[in-house]
Structure 1
Amino acid sequence: MVAKKKPGPKTDNPMDTMLRVRVDKITLEKLDDSAKELNTSRSEIIQKGIHKIHDDLKK
């Protein structure tokens, strides 16, 4: 019997693209430190960084 997927929360902006990046050890440590300090995921830290840079460019 195949297990049914649990319905998750619906979103207006689904994250359906996976991005793979290469980073050096220092960058990874900074990413992990930031995620731990803010109690969030690596993905969320990267997304916030992208939004911050984009917003700064618009100024």
Structure 2
Amino acid sequence: MATKKMGRPTDDPKPIKITARINEETLNILKTYCEKNKKTQAQGIRDGIHSLKGK
């Protein structure tokens, strides 16, 4: 019988992982945004994806 993996409980699990290659300029834009808004790089990427909604 397999045991279920335990971790922090969350109301918004994120089981999907995406990998992308980016250039130095794009990384600098992301880092600047994240530092300014006190967010992780993952959350900065999610914010960018959400900004595409409705376009």
Provide the aligned length of Structure 1 versus Structure 2.
Answer: 50
Residues in 1 aligned to 2:34 and 2:10: alpha-carbon distance in whole angstroms: 25
Q: Which structure is higher in RCO with an 8 Å CA cutoff and minimum separation 6?
A: 2
Stretches of structure 2 lacking an aligned partner (at least 5 in a row): 1-5
Q: Which runs of 5+ in 1 are unaligned?
A: none
CA RMSD of aligned residues (A): 1.4
Specify the alignment match of 1:39 in structure 2: 38
Tell me which protein shows more helix as a share of its residues.
1
Q: Give the fraction of aligned pairs with identical amino acids, expressed as a percent.
A: 20
TM superposition score normalised by structure 1: 0.73
TM-score with structure 2 setting the length: 0.77
